[in-house]
Structure 1
Amino acid sequence: MDRHAPPPEMAAGGDRLSKLDDEVLGHILSFLPAREAARASSLSSRWRHVFAAVHTVSMAETDADHPAIRGYVSPPYRRGLDPLAPPVFSAVVTTALLSRHRRRRHRPVPLRALRVDMTGYVRADSAAVDQWVSYAVQQAAADHGLEIDLRLGRPAICDRAYSLRDSATIPEDDDDDDDDNAEDEQHDNAADDDDEKQEARDRSPSPAKRARSHSPSSSDYDDDVASSDDEEVRGYTPVFRPWRPVHTIPSMLFSCAVLRSLALGSCGFALPATVALPSVETLVLSHVRGPASDVQRLVSGCPRLADLTLEACGAVTAVTILGGARLRRLAIRCCHRLAAVAVDASELHTFEYRGAVPRGRDFLTLHHGDAPRRRRGIACCHVDICGEEATSEEELTGLRLFLQLFADDATHLHLQSARLGAGADKDALASFPTFPNLRHLELWGSLPDDDAAAAAVTTVTTILNSTPGLEALTLVFHPRGDGGDADSYSQNELRDAHRLRYNPHAVLAAAAAGGAMVVPCLRSTVREINLVHYQGGMAQRSLAKFLLCNAPAIAELFCVSAEGPLFMLEQLKQELRGWLMNKSAKTCFR
C-alpha cells in the first residue's frame, strides 16, 4: 500500500463526520451559537443544508451589531438602500430561524430551544420579536419540550453599590439626646449626601447609561419615573433614569403545553384569562414590567415549577408558591419591594437571596405540606446583603433570625456584605446561629487596611464557633471596600483595586492576641482554606495568620493574590507557607 495514498474514507470522498446523517450533524451544531453553526455551511456542499437540522437557535447581540459602534452613521431610513449598512440584529435572528426551512423536500426538525440576548431593542423590533415567539411555539418539539430565553436588555441587577459606614458616623443606640437634632442635621447635610451619592453613581454606571451607550438613538427611550412610595420601602431610594421601551410578550406563549423552560428579561407580558403552563419546570423573570398580580398568576400557572428566579422585579411585593409546585431552587435578587415569600419547602434544596436585610422570619415562610418534614432541608444557602453595611441592632437581629431558618440543615453557606462578616461581633449577633451540618462556608466582603485587625479576627471567630463540623473555609475580599460588579470598572480600575499592599516590617500583634481564642473546627475538622483577592493588607494578613496558625488539620491552602511585583508576591507566598502548621499541606498560589 502506498503510504502517500489518502485513507480509504477520504479516497471515497468526504470524511467520517460528513458521512453522518443530517439529524446527527444538526444535533452537534445545536450546541454552538447560531452564527458559528451557520458558518459550517461554507465547509463544503455536503454541509450546505445542515443548518436546517439544527434544533437550537442561540444568538446574542454584540457591540459589532450596533451601527454606531461600527462607525456607520447613515440615517435609519437609508440603511435599506445602502449595501454597506450592517444588518439589523432582529433581521439576523429572523434569517437564522427561516434558514431552518432551506430544504424544500424535508420539514425542519422540531425546535427545542430559542435563546436571544438583545441589548439594542427599539420599538421597530416589536413585530419581529412577536414573530420569533409565534414561530417557536408552532415549531416546538412535543417530545423534548421547548425552552425560550428572551432577554431584551442587559441592565445591572441592582443600583445599590456596596458601601462601608465609618464607625465615627454610626449613631449610638443610647444617645437619646441626639434625636431632637437629627432632623436638622439631616437637612443640613442633605446637599453633601446628594453629592456623595451622585459621585458613587458616576463611578458605577447605571443600567440606563450602559443602555444608552448601545442604543441607536436616544429618542427610543421612555422616561419612567419610579413612584415616590419606593423611597420608604426598606430604605431603598430609586434612581430616576430613562428606560428602554418595554416589549409585551404575546399571550399565546403562556398557554404552550410543551414549554419547559421560560426566561424573560427587560420586558412585559400580556397574560391570558387562564395561564396554563403544565410543563414549565424553570422560570426566570428579570426586570419584568407589570403589576405584581401578573407575576403571581404566572408563577401559579406552573404546577410543575422546580426552579424559580426573580431578579429586580420592582413591582412584586409578595410571592406565594404553594399547592402542587415542588420547588428545588429559589433565587430572589434585588426585589426591593418584596416583603413576604411563602413557599412549599418540601423539596427545596437551594435558596439564594440578594437585597436589603430581611425582616427576620416574617420575610420567608417555609411550608412543608401535609407530609412530615424531611430530615434534610435547604442544604445550600446564599445570602447577599447589598447596599450599605448593616450596623443597627434592628438589622442585625433581623439577619440573625433570617439565618436561623437555615441553621439546622445547611451544608453550604454563602454570606456576602459590604464588610466581611459585618456585625458578627455586635451584641445582636453575639449568639450567631449554630450550623451543626455546615461543611463549606464562604464569607465575601471587604476588609480595609484601616480596620482593626483584632475586630476582624473576632468577627470570623464568632462565626466559626457556630460551625463545629466545618471542612472548607473560603474568604473573598472585595476590592476598594465596595465589591461592585466587574462590569462597573475598567480593566485599569480593577487592577488598581486589587493592587498589593505588603509591608514586611509591620507587626501583626492582633493575630497574636487572637491566637488565645480556641476555635474547635479549626483545630479538628477544617481541611481546606481559600483566600481570594488577597492583597496583603494589615487586616487581611492578621486574619490569615490567625487562621493558618490555628488549623493543624489543614491539608490544602489555595490563594489568589492581587496583581503586584513578583518579589512582593513571592514574599506573600513564603509568609503564608510559614504560618501553616501542617508543613506537608498542599499549597496553590495564583
Structure 2
Amino acid sequence: RWVYVLPKRLFTCRVVRTLCVAYCRLKLPAAVNLPLHETLSITAPHSDGGRSIQRLISGCPRLVNLTLEAVHRLKRVSVLDQRLRRFTLRCCHNMKSVDIDASELSSLDYCGTVPAERLLTLHGSPGVPLCTMDFCIVLSEDAGFTGFRVFMQKISDAKHLHLHHRKLEGRFFSGFPLFSILTRLVLQGPLVNCGTVVSVGRILEQTPNLEVLSLYMEVHVVYTKKKDDTLGRDLTMGEEDDEDDLMEKEKDADDSSVAPDEEAMVPDESSFSMPCLRHRVKEINMVHYVGDETQRMMARLLFGNALVLERMCVVLVKGTFALQSKLKNEIESWVVADAEKVFL
C-alpha cells in the first residue's frame, strides 16, 4: 500500500517551530535536531515504532506543546528533559507509562482507556490547572474502578476540569476524590436516569469551591443494525467481527450507567443542598435541554439550591414556540436566586 514518507531533512531543519504529522511514515534520520521546535503533533504514524517517536520528542529540546493521537505502537514515552506546557494523549490504547516534567504543565488532555494505576507520572507538578478527561473505554470490574480513582487523584489540584462521563458507571463516583481548588467544572454526557443525577451530586460534594458548572447533556444513543457505522471502522474486519462489534455497541448502550439500586433513587432537594451550591456557584449552564424527566430533575435540584447564583444559561433543543416557552417558564420557576436568565 502506498504510504507517504516524510523527507529526512525535515527533522534537521533548524527553523521549524511547529510540526503536525498524520497518517504518514516518519523514517527518521540517524540524528534528529530541531532546536527551535515548540509544537509537535503526531497522529496515527505508519509503521513507526515507539523508539522513533521517543527519538523525535527527545530531538526537540524546546518542546512545550505535545500531542500524541492513535499511536498504537507507542507503549512508553518520557518527556523529562523538556518542560511541557500542554500535553494531549488521545487513543493511544497500548500506552503503558507516561513520564512528564510537569513543573510548568498548564493543560492536560486525555482520551482513552480508564488507565492502570501507573500510567501517568507527573514529576514536579504543583497541580495542572486545566484538565480534560474522556474515558472512551472502561476496564471491567475492579480494575477500571481502581484505575479511575487513582488517575483522578493525580489531577485533583486542577482548577478547571472537563469530564466526559458517558462511559462511567455510577459506582465510579462513590469515591470521587476531593478537588479542593476546582472553580470550573464541565460534565459532558447523557443524563440517563436518576443514578446519573446522583453521580453529579457526588461530584459536587467534592468540589467545595466550585463557581461555574456546565452540563453538556449528550443524547443517549442506542445503536441499531440499520445505522451506518462504516466511518472509522477497520475495513479488514469480516462480517462475523462486524456483528460482534455491533452487539458490543448495543450492549454498551443498553447497560445502565449506575448500579440497579441507584437507578430508582430519586434525589430530594436536601440531597443537593451542598456547600458549593449554597455558597459558591455563581453560574450554571445546561446545553441541549430537551426537558425529559431526568433533565428536569437535574435542573430543579441545581437551580433550587444555587442560592448565590448570578447567571444561568439553558440551551434548548429546537422545538415549537409553545414547547420552548413551557420549558422556559418551568425552569424560571425553579430559580431561587436573583440571577440573570439566558435561554438560547
Shorter-chain TM-score range: 0.7 to 0.9
Give the secondary structure class of the aligned counterpart of 1:529.
strand
Shift, 1:480, TM fit: 3.1
**Larger fraction in helix:** 1
Which residue of 2 is the match for residue 393 of structure 1?
A: 142
Conserved? CA contact 2:173–2:203, under 8 Å: no
1:556 aligns with 2:316: no
Assess, with a 3 A threshold, how the Cα gap between structure 1 residues 553 and 391 changes in structure 2: closer, same or farther: farther
Which residue of 2 is the match for residue 304 of structure 1?
A: 62
Which residue of 2 is the match for residue 345 of structure 1?
A: 102
1:536 pairs with one of 279, 291, 305: 291
Which residue of 1 is the match for residue 152 of structure 2?
A: 403
2:78 pairs with one of 316, 320, 335: 320
Which residue of 1 is the match for residue 175 of structure 2?
A: 431
- Stretches of structure 1 that go unaligned for 5 or more consecutive residues are 1-221, 223-244, 489-508
Which amino acid letter does the alignment assign opposite residue 445 of structure 1? G
1:268 aligns with 2:25: yes
Conserved? CA contact 1:418–1:481, under 8 Å: no
Which residue of 1 is the match for residue 247 of structure 2?
A: none
Cα distance between partner residues in 1 of 2:299 and 2:140: 24
Which residue of 2 is the match for residue 467 of structure 1?
A: 207
1:522 pairs with one of 260, 264, 277: 277
Conserved? CA contact 1:510–1:542, under 8 Å: no
Shift, 1:518, TM fit: 2.6
Cα distance between partner residues in 2 of 1:318 and 1:482: 35
- If asked which structure has higher relative contact order (CA below 8 Å, sep 6+), I would say 2
Which amino acid letter does the alignment assign opposite residue 108 of structure 2? F
Give the secondary structure class of the aligned counterpart of 1:278.
coil
Encode CA deviations 1:301-323: one digit per residue, 9 max, x unaligned: 00100000011111111111012
1:277 aligns with 2:34: yes
Alpha-carbon RMSD across the aligned residues, in angstroms, is 2.0
Encode CA deviations 1:547-570: one digit per residue, 9 max, x unaligned: 111111111111111122221111
Which residue of 2 is the match for residue 24 of structure 1?
A: none
Cα distance between partner residues in 2 of 1:559 and 1:569: 11
Cα distance between partner residues in 2 of 1:386 and 1:456: 17
Cα distance between partner residues in 1 of 2:7 and 2:326: 61
1:587 aligns with 2:327: no
Encode CA deviations 1:16-72: one digit per residue, 9 max, x unaligned: xxxxxxxxxxxxxxxxxxxxxxxxxxxxxxxxxxxxxxxxxxxxxxxxxxxxxxxxx
Mapping 1:467-486, distance limit 5 Å: 467-481=207-221
Conserved? CA contact 1:573–1:589, under 8 Å: yes
2:114 pairs with one of 348, 354, 357: 357
Question: TM-score normalized by structure 1?
Answer: 0.50
Assess, with a 3 A threshold, how the Cα gap between structure 1 residues 364 and 336 changes in structure 2: closer, same or farther: same
Cα distance between partner residues in 2 of 1:341 and 1:440: 26
Mapping 1:114-129, distance limit 5 Å: none
Give the secondary structure class of the aligned counterpart of 1:459.
helix
1:258 pairs with one of 15, 18, 21: 15
Mapping 1:189-268, distance limit 5 Å: 222=1, 245-268=2-25
Give the secondary structure class of the aligned counterpart of 1:397.
helix
Encode CA deviations 1:339-366: one digit per residue, 9 max, x unaligned: 2101111111110000111112x00011
Shift, 1:516, TM fit: 4.0
Return 257-266 or 474-483, whichever deviates more.
Answer: 474-483
- Stretches of structure 2 that go unaligned for 5 or more consecutive residues are 224-229, 232-263
Assess, with a 3 A threshold, how the Cα gap between structure 1 residues 265 and 276 changes in structure 2: closer, same or farther: same
Cα distance between partner residues in 2 of 1:482 and 1:417: 16
1:332 pairs with one of 80, 89, 95: 89
1:447 pairs with one of 180, 191, 203: 191
Assess, with a 3 A threshold, how the Cα gap between structure 1 residues 400 and 510 changes in structure 2: closer, same or farther: closer
**Larger fraction in strand:** 2
Question: TM-score normalized by structure 2?
Answer: 0.84
Shift, 1:390, TM fit: 6.2
Identity of aligned residues (%): 38
Computing the radius of gyration over CA atoms, which structure comes out larger, 1 or 2?
1
Conserved? CA contact 2:272–2:302, under 8 Å: no
Cα distance between partner residues in 1 of 2:208 and 2:180: 6
Assess, with a 3 A threshold, how the Cα gap between structure 1 residues 520 and 482 changes in structure 2: closer, same or farther: farther
Q: How many residues align?
A: 305
Cα distance between partner residues in 1 of 2:21 and 2:9: 15
Shift, 1:465, TM fit: 0.6
Conserved? CA contact 2:88–2:108, under 8 Å: yes
